[in-house]
A = this chain, B = another copy of it.
Amino acid sequence: MHVISSISDMILARSRLKGTVGFVPTMGYLHEGHLSLMDKARQQTDNVIASIFVNPTQFGPEEDLDSYPRDFERDEKLAEEAGVDFIFYPDEQAMYPNGYASYVVPDGLDSHLCGAKRPGHFRGVMTIVLKLFNIIRPTDSYFGQKDIQQARILEQMTADFHLPIRMHIEPIVREKDGLAMSSRNVYLSPDEREAAVCLSRAIRLVESHFKDGEREAAVLLTKAEKEIQKQPLAIIDYVELVDYLTLAPLKNVTDRAILALAVYFGQTRLIDNTILE
Contacts and interface: CB of A to CB of B under 8 A. Distances in A.
Interface in A154-174: 156-157, 160-164
Contact of A101 (B100, B107, B134, B163): B107
Interface string A227-260: 0000000000000000001100000000000000
Contact of A108 (B101, B107, B160, B245): B101
A108 B96 CA distance: 14
A104 interface: yes
Interface in A102-147: 102-109, 126, 130-131, 134-135
Contact of A130 (B100, B109, B161): B161
Q: How many copies are assembled?
A: 2
A21 to B, nearest CB: 16
Chain A: interface secondary structure? mixed
Contacts of A99: 156, 245-246
A153 B99 CA distance: 11
Q: In the complex, which range does the number of interface residues on chain A fall in? A: 20 to 34
Nearest to A135: B162
Nearest to A7: B162
24 contacts: A11-B164, A99-B156, A99-B245, A99-B246, A101-B107, A101-B153, A101-B156, A101-B157, A101-B160, A102-B104, A102-B106, A102-B126, A102-B153, A102-B157, A103-B105, A103-B107, A104-B104, A104-B105, A130-B161, A131-B160, A131-B161, A131-B162, A134-B161, A135-B162
Given A102-B106, A131-B160, A134-B163, 17 more contacts: A11-B162, A99-B156, A99-B246, A100-B160, A101-B107, A101-B156, A101-B157, A102-B104, A102-B107, A102-B156, A102-B157, A102-B161, A103-B104, A103-B106, A103-B107, A134-B162, A135-B162
